[in-house]
Amino acid sequence: MGVSDPDCTHLSGRVFTASALRNLLPSHSVSGEPDLVLPRASEPVVEYHNPDLVPGMFPSLYPFGIGGFDDDTRPSPIAFQKQANYYFDLADRSFRYHRSYMFVVLNIFQRRIAHLHTHFTVRRAHFESLAKRLSSVSPHTLSRLADQLQKEHRYSNLSVDDQNALNLLNQVNTVAARIPGSQSAKMSVRNEIRSYFGFFGMPHIFFTCNPNATHSPIFQLMYGDDSVDLTQRYPCLVPARERAIRLARDPVAAADFFHFSVTCIFTHLFGWDFDCQSSTERGGILGHLEAFYGTNE
């Protein structure tokens, strides 16, 4: 049994730096190879612009071997995320009921954001010199420096090579992408909220909305139970165990229910017009809203 700190509120900055340095080192070898190595055969499968990749991984979902992502033969190109959302909204719910398809697609989407939008930034005047110095730092130096930092050793106690490596890293900034669920995405949300404070002032109310899909007749209807009669005040539902199984089996319907519930709350309770992006003339129970910011956990 372990204890983790997902918000990283009890970790010092040196622990982060030491962990980052270790990630630059090879995990199981001393040959100096990078830590990020993708296992492959003699001919690796191309991940980008390969419409046969996902159909080959899930033949039961693509029985004819067509319909993959990044198909350049289409007259109109379709974005990866838009095509994935389309598959989850099909009347045939095989894609959303599959136990691993959703996670594999999300992983590919996150990897692409990380590959294309995470980079190092340095001052233009120092670019060439820093590039040469970065490539000259040995894995042994990085490993030793990571251990020294984690043990909270003083800067003066470091060797000359360790001091040079640390000074080099201080001149490099890491710009991370807004990967869904990552720490960088949380930081981006916090910055946007602070911007709202500066433009609109401090918010007057803060609330948390947790619509319960398990006991909601609307979710049962979204799941596909046509026997639910929403015209009744207390519709007849399946037993609680079956409702919980439905929620676990169809997370896409659960997400649709959450979005529908929040939209209804702001539309009918707070009087917000999403089409015009402003408060309605009548307003809501809090009067007329000037702005709001919402995010999901």
CA triple 204-202-206, angle to 5 deg: 40
Q: How far is CA 180 from the centre of its chain?
A: 2
Question: What whole-number distance in Å separates Cα of residue 113 and Cα of residue 115?
Answer: 6
Tell me the CA distances in angstroms from 165 to 134, 151, 213, one per residue in order.
8, 17, 53
Judged against a pLDDT cut of 80, whether residue 69 lies above it is answered with yes
Q: Model confidence at 178, in pLDDT bands (50, 70, 90)? A: low
Question: What whole-number distance in Å separates Cα of residue 230 and Cα of residue 240?
Answer: 18
Q: How long, in residues, is the chain?
A: 297
Q: Model confidence at 10, in pLDDT bands (50, 70, 90)? A: low
Contact between residue 93 and residue 250 where contact means Cβ atoms under 8 Å apart:
yes
8-state DSSP, 287:
B
Q: Which two tokens stand for residue 222?
A: 């979204």
Question: What whole-number distance in Å separates Cα of residue 6 and Cα of residue 186?
Answer: 12
β-sheet bridge partners, residue 272: 279
β-sheet bridge partners, residue 120: 174
Higher-pLDDT residue of 117, 30: 117
Tell me the CA distances in angstroms from 131 to 126, 172, 174, 285, one per residue in order.
8, 10, 14, 58
Contact between residue 257 and residue 210 where contact means Cβ atoms under 8 Å apart:
no
Higher-pLDDT residue of 15, 91: 91
Contact between residue 253 and residue 223 where contact means Cβ atoms under 8 Å apart:
yes
Q: What is the pLDDT of residue 39?
A: 61
| pLDDT tens figures, 195-223 | 999 999 888 888 898 999 999 999 999 99
Question: What whole-number distance in Å separates Cα of residue 288 and Cα of residue 297?
Answer: 27
Put simply, whether the predicted model's pTM sits higher than 0.75 gets the answer: no
8-state DSSP, 157:
G
| pLDDT tens figures, 242-282 | 999 999 999 999 999 999 999 999 999 999 999 999 999 99
| pLDDT tens figures, 35-52 | 555 566 677 788 888 999
Contact between residue 114 and residue 106 where contact means Cβ atoms under 8 Å apart:
no
- Which single residue is written with the structure tokens 């169809």? 250
Contact between residue 198 and residue 204 where contact means Cβ atoms under 8 Å apart:
no
Question: What whole-number distance in Å separates Cα of residue 79 and Cα of residue 46?
Answer: 18
β-sheet bridge partners, residue 175: 119
